[in-house]
Structure 1
Amino acid sequence: MRYSLRQNVAAEPVIAGWYGWSYLLPPQVLARFAHNRFTRIVESYLDNPQVHATAVRQRRMHGGPWIHAHEHHDAIRDWYRETAPRRERLDELFEAIRQLEEEILPRRRGECLDDVYQELPRPLAGRVEVFYGRDNRTADYRFIEPLMYASEYYDESWQQVRLRPITEDAREFALTTPMLEYTPDQLLIDVPLNSPLLDTIFRGNLTADELDELAARLGLHGERAGRFRAYFEPAPEPAGPPAGDDVLEYAGHACVFARYEGTTFLVDPVLSYAGYPGGAPGRFTFADLPDRIDHLLITHNHQDHMLFETLLRIRHRVGRVLVPRSSNASLVDPGLGGILRRLGFRDVVEVDDLETLPCGSAEVVALPFLGEHGDLRIRSKTGWLLRFGERSVLFAADSTNIAPTMYAKVAEVIGPVDTVFIGMESTGAAASWIYGPLYGEPLDRRTDQSRRLNGSNFPQAREIVETLEPGSVYVYAMGLEPWMGIVMAIDYDESHPAIVDSDLLVQHVRDKGGTAERLHLRRTLPI
């Protein structure tokens, strides 16, 4: 008999004790999050766990700096003490960055910067480049990212995976709670996220002996090995050749699967689990994916579009990954290609604006993406236009049409588009919700609230539709699916601006004779 991982077992990535996502992998960014966010959350919790227990029960507090495992005070306290040496190393890197930003660079106002390299703190020496902006007065810097990954501050021993069964669609917010073994059905495994052993777990179809050998190679013995084996079940019989029809399959949030003339695509993969009672009927899960995903496309570096938990589980199926080019190598815009390569993906291609790539039977074009990033200098974002023969589909993600003339100019290059997917979370979180730990100093509340992570509102989305002239328009990436709660904190009702705006767009397109829908859970669509 052969065994595969049960469909309801999640493998949650862990970096330095926290739910792993892309801004925690580069060591310089992790250092900022550890010092400016995580340490403050844990110390607040240890000082008064009841405050956290009260906060997580209030819907308006969802997504805030609260620990959800508030009943496990002793376990969190012990973990925090045991990991103090790890924080000391990250604090050393944090302090070096602070000195460069707040003490060394501000003293330069146009004179030669050569002597800065002699002043660099040890963690940054030989790992950054300094330069002036175009005003020739404001000094700035960039990380030489491969050297940061090669430093002692990038430590794969800080990486783990936590296995645990999922019992319902809804997922509890994970970004502010240490990832420990809180219950007997959870198992933390010390394994780098790029380890081929994870591919072996997710590929499955293991004999009993192979399963035992895998447990041993993961350092699991005795009761822990038994717990690991319990996550597996008899592998199903092969289903035979997969269906080959051309299809667009909405899988939830911003995730869409496409197959055209045998070539497969997956955009912004975030998938739900199966194998438990009471889930949404017919939802698209990992089990619905084909054995091979030829092209994986990621629009931008936010956790609801580039979810490590899904990426790790499908890595062994993926051929090539297409990502937007990043040219900044800054704290707020670390290289997306470098992150994915260190996550274990081997064929990663960075694509620039309006660059066209042949992808099997189709063609992919990267389109400019404005907004939704708090007015920060972030380059690693793109909309993907897929050309399936004479038909074209645009995945605009959370692109905010703040400059309508841009889409008009893009349309002059690419022509009309048949189908548009557009995100309309028109009132997003304040910019500091993601980027706050990376700021040199906190934004005042008024400024922070003005720089929200918004998708397009109705007038902006209507302008896109009228410019590109699609026959079909689908509103997506709204965080409506219950499993998105692990990384998002959205509470919609009928009066929420995003619901009002998307309803208006759907009605507008239908009034003009087109097809329009706000997508939810799963939808099979024609190419």
Structure 2
Amino acid sequence: MEDNKKYYLKESVYAEPLINNWYAWSYLLSPITYSLYLKNTHRRLLNSFLNNAELHILANTNKAMSGGGEFVNCTREDYNAIKAHYDRLAEEYGDLIEVADDIKKLDQMLLAHQSGESLEPLYGDIPPSLKGFVELLMDRQHRPDYRIIESLVYSSPLYKESIQSMCFGINEGDKERAFVFSTPRINYTQRLKINQPFNSQFWDKLFRLRTSPLLGSEVKVLFSGVDTEGLLSFESLFTEYEPAQPNPKQIKSARITYVGHAGLLIESKQSNVLIDPMIGVPNELNRDDMISYSQLPEKIDYVLLTHNHSDHVHFETLLQLRSRIGKVVVPKNNGGGLLDPSLKLMLSRIGFDVVEVDDLEEIVIPDGKILSIPFLGEHGDLNIRSKAGWFIEINDKKIYAGADSSNLSPEMFMYVKKLIGELDVLAIGMECVGAPFTWAYGALFTDKVHKQVKESRRLNGTDSAQALDMVDTFKPKQALVYALGYESYYGYMMGMDYSDDSKQIVESKRFLEQCKEKNVTAKLLTEKYTLDLI
């Protein structure tokens, strides 16, 4: 790297946010839920690898097995490092493991209280690590429960910025990243780990280099004194070549750009909105198939998040865009339930300007409005409120983005129709066969969940019949099917391996045919796509 030349961050560089060497997602940032994933998922997986490494190594030669989240993708040579990491989690984070143990004790204490009488005498029996952080309460059937006072927890030693970092690598050829939810990042022979908390301004300065170069001398100053690990040099992350540029075509009224998975960029001449961004990292094989960071607007007015799943609240993308984002808009949670941590609290903690909205709450933008729409389904019947579909009206064009929501109550959408009218574009996911709810939430349950319950309560989205009912209700001019995790470059976290007879693909194609019969233009989004609304 020469001091007097200008350098950009390479398009092919990926940056994985980590919490204690595991890929960061929202339930790991919130301390109470993290304690349960630390004990019930991370240490369990590591222990399984240590007891039967050969099974894990064999399973990771089968894509269908490796994407299920139960096998650590490490080699025999990593065994000692895995053992050291397993031991360190117990030695250095005993306070978090104590919280996980005490959650189980609190659950058992409340399950034993069946009389329906006052819970006030039980405050003295709350397990030690949770005292001061929970309120005991009763539901309408006189069953005891509790809520977590999350803001206090974030202000306590349980929230540890010191375990936050990012791991950098270069996406080359057809080499895939190991599945992030089952494999800690412990081998840095071809990676660079930078130990900085997520709210550090260092990240904003670094990721601005996606679009705005610095002199080599300035890059060296940026990295001066920064705590790093790994054999990949920071200089190897940079290039003199300019990245790809945004679409130069002038916007007439409104434009929708599919940016991958559940991501939609909606633009006019005056404003823009980005929904559920999860930006892929290109290489020479797929560069033309995707939108890269440099092709997004330099200023993003609003980022809208539909629900608190890792492929919709994608920290890897959000942290890289933070300096370009005006406000992040999130649905309101249920007020302290263990299963539903506050998106507003966690995103504010790591440096975002966050607006929290309730159902049907409106935000006015220069040439229209944003409206949160009730979101049903896809959460295994759990009491989780952090979910919303988004209605955007921009220059009189009406767009609904429903992501993974399910049309379980057509009557609800009939009421919504009276409020918003007919649509120009309906975008809906077709993840009609989701994983059992325990795939995402199992670590948060302190008692065994029976197989029949798991199989019954799946993270299902809309199927073709439900989507067609929405077409009949909203009479859109165009329909978009998206959010399937279809793109191969998301394999590191989606773990999907669709075939032509996968139900999600069959249902998507059926919906496209049904739309055609109704003279509604419909498209399945699987690669870069732009739709101009005139």
Shorter-chain TM-score bucket reads: over 0.9
Shift of 1:377: 0.3
Contact persistence 1:93–1:153 (CA under 8 A): no
For 2:278, the equivalent position in structure 1 comes to 270
Contact persistence 1:341–1:348 (CA under 8 A): yes
SS at structure 1 position matched to 2:129:
coil
For 2:467, the equivalent position in structure 1 comes to 461
Does the alignment pair 1:138 with 2:143? yes
C-alpha change, 1:297 and 1:76, in structure 2 (3 Å) is same
How many Å separate the matches in 2 of 1:213 and 1:262?
A: 37
For 1:483, the equivalent position in structure 2 comes to 489
For 2:26, the equivalent position in structure 1 comes to 22
How many Å separate the matches in 2 of 1:118 and 1:326?
A: 28
Does the alignment pair 1:99 with 2:102? no
**Which of 297, 301, 323 in structure 2 is aligned with 1:294?**
301
How many Å separate the matches in 2 of 1:240 and 1:89?
A: 47
Does the alignment pair 1:259 with 2:263? no
Q: CA RMSD in A?
A: 2.0
Farther-moved stretch of structure 1 (231-240 vs 354-363): 231-240
- Return 5+ residue gaps in structure 2 as ranges: none
In structure 2, give the amino acid aligned to 1:140: D
Does the alignment pair 1:202 with 2:187? no
How many Å separate the matches in 2 of 1:171 and 1:81?
A: 25
TM-score by length of 2: 0.93
Shift of 1:24: 0.5
Shift of 1:280: 5.0
Farther-moved stretch of structure 1 (212-221 vs 373-382): 212-221
Shift of 1:147: 0.5
For 2:402, the equivalent position in structure 1 comes to 396
How many Å separate the matches in 2 of 1:428 and 1:7?
A: 32
**Which of 52, 59, 71 in structure 2 is aligned with 1:48?**
52
Shift of 1:85: 2.4
Does the alignment pair 1:381 with 2:387? yes
Contact persistence 2:246–2:296 (CA under 8 A): no
SS at structure 2 position matched to 1:526:
strand
C-alpha change, 1:165 and 1:526, in structure 2 (3 Å) is same
SS at structure 2 position matched to 1:109:
coil
In structure 2, give the amino acid aligned to 1:264: N
SS at structure 2 position matched to 1:123:
helix
After the TM superposition, which segments of 4 or more aligned residues of structure 1 sit over 4 Å from their partners? Answer: 168-171, 237-244
How many Å separate the matches in 1 of 2:69 and 2:294?
A: 33
How many Å separate the matches in 2 of 1:420 and 1:479?
A: 19
Contact persistence 2:278–2:314 (CA under 8 A): yes
**Which of 491, 498, 504 in structure 1 is aligned with 2:504?**
498
- Return 5+ residue gaps in structure 1 as ranges: none
How many Å separate the matches in 1 of 2:194 and 2:508?
A: 42
In structure 1, give the amino acid aligned to 2:205: T
How many Å separate the matches in 1 of 2:346 and 2:114?
A: 32
**Which of 366, 369, 372 in structure 1 is aligned with 2:375?**
369
SS at structure 2 position matched to 1:96:
helix
C-alpha change, 1:293 and 1:217, in structure 2 (3 Å) is farther
Contact persistence 1:242–1:290 (CA under 8 A): no
How many Å separate the matches in 1 of 2:392 and 2:52?
A: 51
For 1:34, the equivalent position in structure 2 comes to 38
Shift of 1:183: 4.4
For 1:114, the equivalent position in structure 2 comes to 120
How many Å separate the matches in 2 of 1:59 and 1:142?
A: 40
C-alpha change, 1:240 and 1:455, in structure 2 (3 Å) is closer
**Which of 164, 167, 191 in structure 2 is aligned with 1:159?**
164
Contact persistence 1:298–1:322 (CA under 8 A): yes
C-alpha change, 1:235 and 1:151, in structure 2 (3 Å) is farther
C-alpha change, 1:317 and 1:374, in structure 2 (3 Å) is same
Does the alignment pair 1:214 with 2:218? no
For 2:323, the equivalent position in structure 1 comes to 316
Shift of 1:139: 0.7
TM-score by length of 1: 0.95
Contact persistence 1:298–1:323 (CA under 8 A): yes
Alignment of 1:407-422 (within 5 A): 407-422=413-428
Count of matched residue positions in the alignment of Structure 1 and Structure 2: 521
Contact persistence 1:424–1:457 (CA under 8 A): yes
Contact persistence 1:427–1:453 (CA under 8 A): yes
Alignment of 1:326-345 (within 5 A): 326-345=333-352
Farther-moved stretch of structure 1 (242-251 vs 466-475): 242-251
C-alpha change, 1:109 and 1:270, in structure 2 (3 Å) is same
How many Å separate the matches in 2 of 1:199 and 1:297?
A: 20
C-alpha change, 1:495 and 1:237, in structure 2 (3 Å) is closer
How many Å separate the matches in 1 of 2:121 and 2:87?
A: 40
In structure 2, give the amino acid aligned to 1:139: P
In structure 2, give the amino acid aligned to 1:53: I
What CA deviation, in whole Å up to 9, does each residue of 1:218-253 have, x standing for no partner? 2249x96x8112212236399799665242111111
What CA deviation, in whole Å up to 9, does each residue of 1:141-170 have, x standing for no partner? 111101111111111101111011111475
Shift of 1:261: 2.2
What CA deviation, in whole Å up to 9, does each residue of 1:304-361 have, x standing for no partner? 111111111111110011111112322211001112112221x211111111110232
Shift of 1:516: 0.3
**Which of 452, 456, 477 in structure 1 is aligned with 2:458?**
452
